[in-house]
Amino acid sequence: MKNIINKPLTEMQKTFARLIVENSFGENAMSHIDCSKKAGYSPESAGQRAWELTNPEIYPNVCKYIE
């Protein structure tokens, strides 16, 4: 199996990760779905994308970037 942890992130994945980190707490906190939409993912699939991108079994490279 290819080492996906070291696979480069797309710009949308980087934006999603940045939004998660910047907007997880406080009075202006955003949900993962909102972060997904704001990163440019389709509103129809934003919930699914948010779940996938924060699942270390599917996207360990994104999860590692968020850490």
The pTM of this model reads 0.87
The count of other CB atoms within 10 Å of the CB of residue 41 is 22
Q: Name the H helices within 1-67.
A: 11-22, 32-39, 46-53, 60-66
- Structural domains of the chain in order of their starting residue, each with its CATH number: 7-66 (1.10.10)
pLDDT-derived band of residue 5, with 50, 70 and 90 as boundaries? low
pLDDT of residue 32: 95
pLDDT of residue 56: 93
Q: What is the mean pLDDT of residues 18-34?
A: 92
Cβ pair 46, 33 in contact under 8 A:
yes
In the chain, % of residues over pLDDT 70? 93
